[in-house]
Structure 1
Amino acid sequence: MTALEFFKLLSDETRLLSLLLIIEEKELCVCELMQALDESQPKVSRHLAQMRKVGLLVDKRQGQWVFYRVNPVLPEWINNSLVELSANNTGLIAHKVTSLHKMGDRPERVKACCS
């Protein structure tokens, strides 16, 4: 991934917030991001697909549901950027994390949104 691709991805609010939430929670499914962002499934899925396509995110299928996390083999400069981005922008996602956590703990969230 080039620097231009990376920063273009971050220039969209939905992608930026999704990425920050995924960093905060380590792994999220589309339904969890829909809850946190108050966005439609097609919009969230489209943005996640863009980040997956360039290798920023990786996914894993669990039944019919797909969970996303940050790619563990990103270049060091991207990892460093993500650490700084996350650490210095917690206020940007604070109310979205609160909304996400209203879904319950991880196993309950999966049952509530993904069963």
Structure 2
Amino acid sequence: MAKIPDTTDDAFQREVLDSDLPVLVDFWATWCGPCRALAPHVEAVAHEFDGKLKVVKLDIDSNPQTPAKYGIRGIPTLLVFKDGELVDKLVGNPGSKKKVAELVEKHTVTG
């Protein structure tokens, strides 16, 4: 399974908002234990929805502008963007891949 790419404040417009696919953004930090625990679930969802969903990570310590813009107050936080708009979010570690998949599946094209 491929590593989920990191995005930055500078690349957020291009990589997330301008994406043709829905995008799941994982807001995290290296010191965040729940973020590390969530990572395998996010990776599994990225694999399951390959071709239907783009998944990126954003380190809040290295990139403070984007979390501030979207009101990220706690991590991990997952945001779903579609057609450049924020359409869904999940704050905290839901503890399962199923919950992450449920977050994104209603925003992806099936079939």
TM-score, L = length of structure 2: 0.35
TM-score, L = length of structure 1: 0.34
Of Structure 1 and Structure 2, the greater strand share is in 2
Q: Tell which has more relative contact order, 1 or 2 (C-alpha 8 A, sep 6+).
A: 2
